């Protein structure tokens, strides 16, 4: 059914870079055989799952939507894909994204632009836009994305589905192609909170192959908000947020109040500086992580006739797109001597301050409610020529990554044109069960 649906709508949505139809059919047949034999089934048995193309899948092309990795076929699985397979899930394909997960609209892919299923003249959000669009258009019930500064939550919000950015360390990053290692987390998409909980429960937990991973587990998601204190930070409802988004999120808070939550106003004063800190830290780490694409070891290789420098230059000039180059340049700049103290060091100081402000806020409340995106999905091409405008769309999501917290994005209404609006619920580290419970109660 999933493959049939992909065939029917993929021409309009363009969510996938690779569809693994034959492998998926074979996997489904194996599940059928188990059912026929009366064998016990694993929790995800036979469920189609799509995986963002920056997560390694053994034997299946993993491109990061980059020319640099156009023909890269990993010889190993990421921990998450290994876990999915062990639980019986069926991989249906690899989804489109912004190149190396750098972007907020899915337009930075080397291969194609994914469309928003609600209005195909609009973006699905990014960078995990392919995964979000695949779930929203019912091509698959579940998908994995990655979130460094909002890349699961933003597309979930633009596409009207549920997305979870787990606590830093809750899900293994082994086999996730690194963008900014101290911020990256893999996260699940689904159309319901239960679906997201099912997928999160399947992928979380300690992994000896990721030194930053922790022994996270999901408890029972009951759908309760009674007695919980919800913080509403005024800094997240400022000038740049559209009136429709504000109204929808405020209305959602009112509804949660009606369901038994206590609402408290809180303040996170350093929010204004979070975007700057995020783009400094993430670009610094990206410039280091992407140094490995040199045309020698694997991936695209440029001019092999000249000197080693000629090889580096041609490989990286031709292999990377404009946004990736911009990040590498920004990153090397903020790390270079003379600028390190002025930019990188100050951004890292600010990271500490933002983390502390969240810790203080969680003395007063159990979870925080904010918008996800400042607006609903924008038109394809609208922000392509203005990187700063594109970066500004991350204003509500980057703080969660900076502080290593979990955040869930869930639908809470629509604008006048019928485009989905999302709300974000943020909690203390490893409060995924609570966050999903609040989301389920709202849903
Ligand atoms: N839009 C943000 C960026 O471009 C976030 C991307 C992400 O979370 N991978 O960096």
Map out the domains of the chain with their CATH numbers: 2-203 (3.90.1300.10)
Q: What distance in angstroms lies between residue 185's CA and the mean position of ligand 1's atoms?
A: 11
Q: What distance in angstroms lies between residue 29's CA and the mean position of ligand 1's atoms?
A: 38
> Rounded to two decimals, what is the model's pTM?
0.98
Beta bridge partners of 145: 187
Q: Which residue's alpha carbon is at the smallest distance from atom 5 of ligand 1? A: 149
State the Cα–Cα distance between residues 93 and 359, nearest whole angstrom.
39
Closest atom of ligand 1 relative to the 398 alpha carbon: 5
The enclosing H or E element of 414 equals strand 407-414
Q: What is the DSSP string of 232-286?
A: EEGGGGSTTS-HHHHHHHHHHHHHHHHTT-EEEEE--TTHHHHHHHHHHHHHHHH
Which residues are marked as active site? 52, 127, 151
Half-sphere exposure of 69 (CA within 13 A, CB side): 22
Contact predicate 145/128, CB 8 Å? yes
Nearest to 283 by CA among 246, 331, 247, 315: 331
Cβ 151 under 6 angstroms from ligand 1? yes
CA 329 to centroid of chain Cα atoms? 23
Per the document, the length of the chain is: 443
Cβ 102 under 6 angstroms from ligand 1? yes
Q: Which two tokens stand for residue 359?
A: 């810790």
Q: Which of 52, 99, 150, 395 to mutate to test the pocket of ligand 1 (most atoms within 8 A of CB)?
A: 150
Cβ 282 under 6 angstroms from ligand 1? yes
Q: Which two tokens stand for residue 100?
A: 């190396």
Contact predicate 168/210, CB 8 Å? no
In 148-259, which ranges are E strands?
Answer: 162-165, 185-190, 229-233
Report pLDDT for 303: 87
Beta bridge partners of 142: 49, 190
State the Cα–Cα distance between residues 290 and 133, nearest whole angstrom.
27
Closest atom of ligand 1 relative to the 128 alpha carbon: 9
State the Cα–Cα distance between residues 9 and 283, nearest whole angstrom.
35
Cβ 147 under 6 angstroms from ligand 1? yes
Q: Which two tokens stand for residue 63?
A: 């491109």
Q: Which residue's alpha carbon is at the smallest distance from atom 10 of ligand 1? A: 102
Q: What distance in angstroms lies between residue 137's CA and the mean position of ligand 1's atoms?
A: 23
State the Cα–Cα distance between residues 266 and 155, nearest whole angstrom.
27
The CA distances from residue 107 to 39, 216, 258, in Å, are 45, 34, 40
Q: What distance in angstroms lies between residue 237's CA and the mean position of ligand 1's atoms?
A: 21
Q: What distance in angstroms lies between residue 417's CA and the mean position of ligand 1's atoms?
A: 26
Cβ 128 under 6 angstroms from ligand 1? no
Closest atom of ligand 1 relative to the 151 alpha carbon: 8
Report pLDDT for 306: 93
Cβ 69 under 6 angstroms from ligand 1? no
- Local structure of 60: helix, strand or coil: strand
Beta carbons within 10 angstroms of residue 65's beta carbon: 33
Q: Which two tokens stand for residue 401?
A: 């990554």
- Burial code (b: 16+ CB inside 10 Å, e: under 16) for 220-244 equals ebebebeebebbbbebbbeeebeeb
Q: Which of 183, 282, 378, 387 to mutate to test the pocket of ligand 1 (most atoms within 8 A of CB)?
A: 282
Cβ 123 under 6 angstroms from ligand 1? no
Contact predicate 72/82, CB 8 Å? no
Checking ipTM against 0.90, whether it exceeds it is: yes
Q: What distance in angstroms lies between residue 104's CA and the mean position of ligand 1's atoms?
A: 6
Cβ 148 under 6 angstroms from ligand 1? yes
State the Cα–Cα distance between residues 425 and 406, nearest whole angstrom.
8
Closest atom of ligand 1 relative to the 401 alpha carbon: 8
| Order of all β-strands in the sheet with 90-95 | 16-19, 90-95, 48-52, 142-147, 185-190, 162-165, 407-414, 420-426, 367-371, 229-233, 262-266
Closest atom of ligand 1 relative to the 152 alpha carbon: 8
Q: What distance in angstroms lies between residue 103's CA and the mean position of ligand 1's atoms?
A: 5
- Local structure of 436: helix, strand or coil: helix
91: phi then psi, degrees, rounded to nearest 5: -75, 120
Cβ 150 under 6 angstroms from ligand 1? yes
Cβ 401 under 6 angstroms from ligand 1? no
Q: Per residue of the chain (443 residues), give pLDDT as tens.
A: 999 999 999 999 999 999 999 999 999 999 999 999 999 999 999 999 999 999 999 999 999 999 999 999 999 999 999 999 999 999 999 999 999 999 999 999 999 999 999 999 999 999 999 999 999 999 999 999 999 999 999 999 999 999 999 999 999 999 999 999 999 999 999 999 999 999 999 999 999 999 999 999 999 999 999 999 999 999 999 989 999 999 999 999 999 999 999 999 999 999 999 999 999 999 999 999 999 999 998 899 998 899 999 999 999 999 999 999 999 999 999 999 999 999 999 999 999 999 999 999 999 999 999 999 999 999 999 999 999 999 999 999 999 999 999 999 999 999 999 999 999 999 999 999 999 999 999 99
Burial degree of 50 (CB within 10 A; 0-12, 13-18, 19+): buried
When computed from its CA atoms, the radius of gyration of the chain, rounded to whole angstroms, is 21
State the Cα–Cα distance between residues 131 and 49, nearest whole angstrom.
9
Beta bridge partners of 379: 122
- Local structure of 398: helix, strand or coil: helix
DSSP 8-state symbol, 424:
E
The enclosing H or E element of 11 equals helix 2-13
Cβ 406 under 6 angstroms from ligand 1? no
Nearest to 56 by CA among 70, 77, 73, 26: 77
């Amino acid at each position: 059914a999933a493959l049939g649906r992909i065939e029917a709508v993929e021409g309009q949505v363009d969510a996938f870079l690779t569809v693994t139809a034959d492998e998926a059919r074979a996997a489904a047949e194996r599940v059928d055989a188990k059912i026929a034999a009366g064998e016990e089934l694993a929790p995800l048995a036979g469920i189609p799952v799509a995986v963002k193309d920056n997560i390694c899948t053994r034997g299946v092309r993993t491109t990061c939507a980059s020319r640099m990795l156009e023909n890269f076929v990993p010889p190993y699985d990421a921990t998450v894909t290994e876990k999915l397979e062990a639980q019986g899930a069926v991989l249906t394909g690899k989804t489109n994204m912004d190149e190396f997960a750098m972007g907020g609209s899915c337009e930075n892919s080397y291969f194609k632009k994914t469309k928003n299923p609600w209005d195909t003249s609009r973006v699905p959000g990014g960078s995990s836009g392919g995964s979000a669009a695949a779930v929203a258009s019912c091509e698959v019930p579940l998908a994995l994305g990655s979130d460094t500064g909002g890349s699961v939550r933003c597309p979930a919000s633009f596409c009207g589905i549920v997305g979870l950015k787990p606590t830093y360390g809750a899900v293994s990053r082994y086999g996730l192609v690194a963008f900014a290692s101290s911020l990256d987390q893999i996260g699940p998409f689904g159309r319901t909170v239960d679906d997201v909980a099912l997928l999160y429960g399947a992928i979380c937990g300690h992994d000896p192959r990721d030194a930053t991973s922790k022994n996270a587990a999901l408890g029972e998601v009951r759908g309760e908000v009674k007695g919980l204190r919800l913080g509403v930070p005024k800094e997240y409802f400022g000038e740049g947020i559209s009136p429709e988004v504000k109204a929808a999120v405020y209305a959602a808070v009112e509804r949660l109040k009606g369901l038994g939550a206590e609402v408290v106003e809180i303040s996170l004063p350093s929010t204004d500086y979070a975007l700057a800190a995020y783009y400094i830290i993430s670009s610094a780490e990206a410039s280091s992580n992407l140094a490995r694409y040199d045309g020698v070891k694997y991936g695209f290789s440029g001019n092999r006739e000249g000197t080693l420098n000629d090889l580096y230059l041609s490989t990286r000039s031709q292999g990377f797109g404009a946004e990736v180059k911009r990040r590498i340049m920004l990153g090397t700049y903020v790390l270079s001597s003379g600028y390190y103290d002025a930019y990188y060091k100050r951004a890292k100081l600010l990271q500490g301050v933002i983390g502390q402000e969240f810790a203080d806020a969680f003395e007063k409340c159990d979870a925080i409610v904010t918008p996800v995106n400042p607006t609903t999905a924008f038109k394809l091409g609208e922000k392509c020529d203005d990187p700063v405008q594109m970066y500004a769309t991350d204003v509500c999501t980057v703080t969660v990554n900076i502080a290593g917290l979990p955040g869930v994005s869930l639908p809470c209404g629509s604008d006048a044109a019928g485009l989905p609006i999302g709300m974000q619920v943020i909690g203390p580290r490893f409060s995924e069960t609570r966050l999903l419970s609040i989301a389920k109660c709202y849903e």
